[in-house]
Structure 1
Amino acid sequence: MALLACTGSAHAEDGYALWMRYVPLAPALAADYRTQLGEVVAPDQTPTQRAAREELVRGLTGLLGRAPRMQAAAAGDHALVLGTPQSSALIAPFRDEMASLGDDGYLLRRTRIGGRDVLLVAARQDIGVLYGVFHLLRLLQTGASLNALEVRESPRVRLRVLNHWDNLDGHVERGYAGRSLWDWQTLPEWRDPRYTDYARANASLGINGTVLNNVNASAQSLAPDYLAKAAALADVFRPYGIRVYLSARFSAPIELGGLKTADPLDPNVQRWWRDKADEIYARIPDFGGFLVKANSEGQPGPQDYGRTHADGANLLADALAPHGGVVMWRAFVYAHEVPADRATQAYTEFFGLDGAFRPNVILQVKNGPIDFQPREPFHPLFGAMPRTPLMLEVQITKEYLGFATHLVYLGPLFEEVLQSDTRARGERATVAQSLAGMAGVANIGSDRTWSGSHFDQANWYAFGRLAWNPDQSARDIAADWAAMTFSPDPEVVAPIVDMMMASREAVVNYMTPLGLHHLMARGHHYGPGPWVDGGPRADWTAVYYHRADRDGIGFDRTARGSNAVAQYAPEVAAKYADLAQVPEPLLLWFHHVPWDHRMASGRPLWDELVARYSLGVRQVQAMQATWASLAPLPGNANASVERGSAPLLGSIDAQRHEQVAAYLKIQLREAQWWRDASVAYFQSISGRPLPPGEATPPHPLAYYEALQYPSAPGDGR
């Protein structure tokens, strides 16, 4: 009941409650809902049934102002009935109708049973009932009508998983929300109530898996003492439908087992992994499986022994198969030799292996071919491996998009890639249609807001909603999140949603406009670094990607250059390769373009590039103005905390408003830094004057190049 205890306290609006605040509704609306819902009939014989029942009580008590009447059977004129055909005689008649919903699906329906007005939350399995309860509470939080309610929901994607890049020492790689959520030292004895709140938040979105540890894995994660700790977390998560997964280090047979090799074709290695799988499932009967990063960024893998990725993945898949586990094998790979174009490497290594993987192997592919950039084209492996299950990997934590301090709603980015047309088999086929799973690299830590800022919670929320149904609208999801997180008042929701929907394009403009990419400072990726050159690998530098010179800018990926376009289906390749057809947002990703190239605006490329950088700054200023308009009214700054309810109409509570306003100031300062440093650098390359009306950067280029941030968050200790 940790979240319930926060309501109405001094911490009521510190962000801990996420989108499950359950603050009192307007009196008239609450009274109407109380009448429509009536008494509650809900089983409580299993852990998941109890979780659904407790969530409903928590939600209705907060929203409607009093605890619901709990009954063993419907007795009054109105009833809210939860259950499955096995747990409720009232729901048993709907058994056949729910057959197509699957194990996770649910039915919300207003109907009449025995002369009573009944609202059903029905499913084939208990977990579906829990998902249905969260859907119903979302409807109540957003003020939706329950009249003639008819909702049938089933997930479109089977695996909906968060990847935690958490290390055993508590550091989170690319994490911007404090230390790791997992306190390995106190596990398994102490099971922090926050673990349950984490599970509730995920279940509210239909997320059904959690990878506990970093893909840059330590073999110790598979040692017996850490398996006991993972088993304790699995016990907490199980009632909420969440399976635990572990990142497996490929060389674990050497480091833990004392073997001389990790060769996937070695019988002793195969035996070691079978024994390890048996050991894990003895502790965690519903263990989900392994996530593996191999032969990438120095991680060990099958190529160390002259074997293929399929050999390595199948080794683990065979060990897990008797238990029903899966292997999520990451397609993010680096060759030892720097390729002519990093964007081509994953396709080159994996395309020829289509059909070579075991059925319980899922290839986990990043949304784009480089590395979670503010904008990338969709990864060419989508649509290219019809005989291999694919899993889309996106980054919820904003490693390249301003960390936790920049307001950047990632829903449009996720939607953009999901709806990209791969033209598989020569006909329309979206990335979403090719997916067996979705994985999100989480930014969840010890910070009270969970994600480092209030608005970053929206990216966790959007990931979960889109993983359940990739065809949903990012704007609609933003509206639900804003209503539940701040206020259902349209005067609050509309401007917040407008801010959110424009925010991703703003960061693209002030960081990497027109298809530029990987311009961040080296290593920590904090701040601009378009001048970054040298070092151990060319593809760890910015100049490798933008290729700016006196004549123009951009990476030529047409047949005249790296020919990366050839990895896409012919229709897609033809569009990207044609300077007249390529979308301007991807122009410099696929083409090296002269500075005087005429853009759609009528401006030459140089002028357009500078204008985009400046536009990004103005877009942040616009967000600031919008947020300022939602400030608490004078004399009522603490009204929401005192009442334990939503703030006055048209305003945001003081505590969260102040923090978001402060973060927007940081974002504006850093957006201006990005604009000035990038313009100064590219002007030094192009030798062209600034367009009329554009301000000269306040410092010379050498000033920006000299800035150092060795302790930037998310990297190092």
Structure 2
Amino acid sequence: MLVSLLLFLPAVLAENGRQAWLRYAPLTGSKTGPPALPQSIIALNATQSSPVFTAGQELQNGISGIFNKHLTVSSSHSSASHAWSLVQRHSSRTHSERLLELEVDGFWLNVKGSAVQIVGQSDRGALYGAFEYLSMLARGNFSDVQLVSNPAAPVRWVNQWDNMDGSITRGFGGASIFFDNGVIVSDLTRAAEYARLLSSIRINAVVVNDVNANFTTIQPGNLQGIGRIADVFRPYGVQVALALDFASPMEFGNLTTYDPLDPGVIQFWDDITENIYDIIPDFAGYLVKADSEGTPGPLMYNRTLAQGANVFAKAIEPFGGIVMYRAFVYNLLDESVWTADRAKAAVDFFQPLDGQFLDNVIIQIKYGPIDFQVREPAHPLFANLLNTNVALELQVAQEYLGQQCHLVYLPPLWDTVLNFDLRVNNETSLVKDIITGKRFNRTLGGSAAVVNVGANDTWLGSHLAMSNLYAYGRLAWDWSLQPDDILKDWIQLTFSQDKTVVDTITQMSMASWPAYENYSGNLGEQTLNDILYTHFGPNPQTLDNTPWGQWTRADHTTIGMDRTVSNGTGYSGQYPPEVFEVYESLEKTPDDLVLWFHHVNYTHLLHSGKTVIQHFYDAHYEGAKTAWSFVPMWESLKGRPGIDEERFEDVLFRQNFQAGHSIVWRDAIVNFYHNISGIRDDAGRVGNHPWRIEAESMELDGYELYTVSPFETASNFTAIVTSTNSTTGTASTRISFPSGKYDIGINYFDMYGGNSTYTVSLNNKTVGQWEGNIVDIGKLGHTPSIYLDGHSATRMTFKGVQVKKGDVLKVVGNPSGVEPAPLDYVVLLPQGVID
């Protein structure tokens, strides 16, 4: 267990984020003295692969890091009860009446002065209790407690979309920690570290490969490699699961069919399953994506989705495994058909099959019926499967929500679904009670989150994005927790207990999702980014006139999907009557979902008193303003306890990027809808930028004009590029603004495939230089673009520059590779002014 032991070395080097919330840093600014600590640790299992052994080591390491006190660990005690997995720190009688309250994976924590008992219903329950106690200590909480903690549901999984070649689908934090070049990596240190993080938030299984699975994963050599992953996961109580390629019997098994009712196919999956359990006795189960977005599935043979799921369920049932079968099944559609609606697909496919899935099958349902959008109504399938196990699918990876380049704290979004009352049979039916099995008395349930950590030290590519992973684990254990309470715990563990630090990051994070919704897509219109290319930057045109069904049906006078039964797609009728009554009515539908359910004029008056189009204008300007406020808020934390220089600069870089990109988003969306509707902004902001100097209006040498597509992603629809990829370009102008101190911003395009360099000067005196390399060297993890568009558009800002009227401003660009040093505009902003 050399890998596991290495993980327990205390973090003494730079704060690069790799320890995440498990830093075990010495407490700073604590108002109380250290607690009375035990003198030793008793972990009643000396087997190094046991989570109980791990718990003892974790306690030893944590107390050493927080209090600089070394405790010995032993594995026996004469008074200990071997009926329970136990990490015991003092000779104290176990309270059997409390132990009777423990459920699977639950734990009992009893702290009274220097006497600490941690009892788990299972081995990993004991480890969970150890992490809970260490979390208390690391946050300066030295209270005596006696608590029993049980999970809300047995399934607390994460999905990794890692590919065998080492890439990660929608991964923004580096390459895979599991795979490379078609095989499992030899060094699984990072995999073990990941299991440690997940165990600390009580995640119990990981699907290590992409849902768009590759049959090569289950080849014998790779299964042995998956077994090695399971070996490093096991000490942390984390199990391995695999996504399956439905067509594997043909691709790998030399069969002529993958029909789930074919005897040869059934035998194939029986054999594969047995092989897996021979290698991984504690294998968790399968994840299946079928008949979706071109993936093979049972519908190919006119079999039902239940028949497709059950072939895996029968194979794995003797071993105690489960099957997570994704409800993300839909066909491409014709937008000209008024009743066509991708949002209806899951209920149409699955509701008629309710009760036909075996008891070890769980239908994994996204929180909304489209695809991880910035706001969607609660998925109606939760109200249509009363006799089938279900689980909620969330996404920690911010695929449509800024790809970890934008701060977006997700639990407030999740909360809108989790606490939504679907009113099944006119009774309280909260989504969180449905997924745990409580509402319909189901035996299995829970959640899965698409996480996609990578080899980046920060795991997700961003320090602040890790709050979403932490929060997901905490919620999966207890769905009643509040987003802001979880956040404050995470901040204290990740940075410090300093009140200013906690309050500031809390304020930023809690404002982040509303801000992103405001500048990306609001009123239930979905996230207006490019669905055909990168899912990152703005491109509302791609939502319509495509077969993917993420339509807004926007024209020159109207916008929104009519999903009513009376005149639209009929989607509203998939909800129980009390919910249907609200969504069917334009008058009763809340503003934040009005365009999801109704097709209205841009001049339609909302409950707020604004028209739809004016709300667009106001919201996008307000959202960008909030994103800009994050920069000075973060800057105010420089030098505060727990805010080390490395993490400070990394977060500041990303907040500056978000501030600039929020302007790109704002301008693109308001310009697009101003252009299509022809309706002016009452505040006169759209198209009016008094402090900008368009690049095409400057005196150009070596530069030429370039018409950007989509048009709305460049100011005045036009940029400049160098005449050739070896020509230096110069754009100059004489400043006509009043003399004073300005922030000089340069909007440019950072394309994949080149690292252009730029110099900005006033009267030939250099103001600043930079290299357009945020994509190529991985400063930002978003999906890159090879075009001048809303994905590559960004901004460089030089603050507090003294400018005199009449000064000559010059920007010199040197192209690199395929990137022709593209420029959009220059803006000179007086202090406190937002472009």
TM-score (norm 2): 0.78
Give 1:596 shift. Answer: 1.9
In 2, Cα distance between the equivalents of 1:59 and 1:88? 14
Alpha-carbon RMSD across the aligned residues, in angstroms, is 2.6
SS in 1 for 2:484: helix
Answer whether contact 1:620 1:668 (CA < 8 A) is retained.
yes
Give 1:345 shift. Answer: 0.7
Q: Size of the alignment, in residue pairs?
A: 685
In 2, Cα distance between the equivalents of 1:367 and 1:24? 39
- Is residue 661 from structure 1 mapped to residue 665 from structure 2 by the alignment? no
CA distance 1:91–1:334, change in 2 (3 Å) = farther
In 1, Cα distance between the equivalents of 2:76 and 2:46? 15
In the TM superposition, what are the counterparts of 1:371-450 in structure 2 within 5 Å? Answer: 371-435=371-435, 436-450=445-459
In 2, Cα distance between the equivalents of 1:596 and 1:294? 42
Give 1:16 shift. Answer: 0.7
Give 1:321 shift. Answer: 1.0
SS in 2 for 1:437: strand
Equivalent position of 1:530 in the other structure: 540
Give 1:123 shift. Answer: 1.9
Equivalent position of 1:321 in the other structure: 317
The one-letter code sitting in structure 2 at the alignment partner of 1:506 is A
Q: Determine which of 237, 241, 244 is the counterpart of 1:241.
A: 237
CA distance 1:697–1:337, change in 2 (3 Å) = same
Give 1:692 shift. Answer: 1.7
Give the number of the structure whose residues are more often helix, by fraction.
Answer: 1
In 2, Cα distance between the equivalents of 1:71 and 1:390? 42
Equivalent position of 2:294 in the other structure: 298
Equivalent position of 2:811 in the other structure: none
SS in 2 for 1:440: strand
Q: Determine which of 18, 21, 43 is the counterpart of 2:20.
A: 18
Answer whether contact 1:83 1:122 (CA < 8 A) is retained.
no
In 1, Cα distance between the equivalents of 2:161 and 2:631? 32
SS in 2 for 1:161: strand
The one-letter code sitting in structure 2 at the alignment partner of 1:394 is L
Give 1:94 shift. Answer: 2.8
Equivalent position of 2:350 in the other structure: 350
Give the number of the structure whose residues are more often strand, by fraction.
Answer: 2
Q: Determine which of 629, 632, 641 is the counterpart of 1:625.
A: 632
* Deviating more after overlay: 704-713 vs 453-462: 704-713
CA distance 1:519–1:186, change in 2 (3 Å) = closer
Answer whether contact 2:560 2:595 (CA < 8 A) is retained.
yes
CA deviation string 1:257-300 (max 9, x = no partner): 10000111111111111111111111111111110110001100
Give 1:8 shift. Answer: 2.1
**Moved segments of 4+, more than 3 Å:** 1-6, 26-31, 36-39, 69-75, 81-93, 183-191, 336-339, 697-701, 705-717
Answer whether contact 2:178 2:185 (CA < 8 A) is retained.
no
The one-letter code sitting in structure 1 at the alignment partner of 2:645 is A
Equivalent position of 2:205 in the other structure: 209
Answer whether contact 2:333 2:547 (CA < 8 A) is retained.
no
In 1, Cα distance between the equivalents of 2:457 and 2:407? 18
Gap runs ≥5 in structure 1: 633-647
Answer whether contact 1:191 1:232 (CA < 8 A) is retained.
no
In 1, Cα distance between the equivalents of 2:630 and 2:269? 52
Equivalent position of 2:675 in the other structure: 684
In the TM superposition, what are the counterparts of 1:216-615 in structure 2 within 5 Å? Answer: 216-335=212-331, 337-338=333-334, 340-435=340-435, 436-521=445-530, 522-532=532-542, 537-539=546-548, 545-559=551-565, 560-615=567-622
Larger radius of gyration: 2
CA distance 1:240–1:314, change in 2 (3 Å) = same
Q: Percent identity among equivalent residues? A: 37
Equivalent position of 1:637 in the other structure: none
Answer whether contact 2:374 2:400 (CA < 8 A) is retained.
yes
SS in 2 for 1:532: helix
In 1, Cα distance between the equivalents of 2:112 and 2:82? 15
In the TM superposition, what are the counterparts of 1:106-125 in structure 2 within 5 Å? Answer: 106-111=107-112, 118-125=115-122
CA deviation string 1:78-134 (max 9, x = no partner): x9x99863658957743443122123111111359xxxx522112222211100010
Answer whether contact 2:523 2:591 (CA < 8 A) is retained.
yes
Q: Determine which of 7, 13, 18 is the counterpart of 2:11.
A: 7
Answer whether contact 2:543 2:552 (CA < 8 A) is retained.
no
SS in 2 for 1:476: helix
SS in 2 for 1:391: strand
Answer whether contact 1:170 1:180 (CA < 8 A) is retained.
yes
CA deviation string 1:487-511 (max 9, x = no partner): 1112211111111111111111000
In 1, Cα distance between the equivalents of 2:378 and 2:610? 28
Equivalent position of 1:635 in the other structure: none
In 2, Cα distance between the equivalents of 1:109 and 1:631? 39
TM-score (norm 1): 0.90
SS in 2 for 1:152: strand
Give 1:529 shift. Answer: 0.7
CA deviation string 1:646-700 (max 9, x = no partner): xx44x72211111111101111111111110111111111111122242426689
In 2, Cα distance between the equivalents of 1:467 and 1:326? 18
Gap runs ≥5 in structure 2: 436-444, 695-707, 720-748, 754-774, 776-781, 787-835
Highest RCO, 1 vs 2 (Cα 8 Å, sep ≥ 6)? 1
The one-letter code sitting in structure 2 at the alignment partner of 1:662 is F
In 1, Cα distance between the equivalents of 2:664 and 2:222? 44
In 1, Cα distance between the equivalents of 2:381 and 2:459? 33
* Deviating more after overlay: 616-625 vs 201-210: 616-625
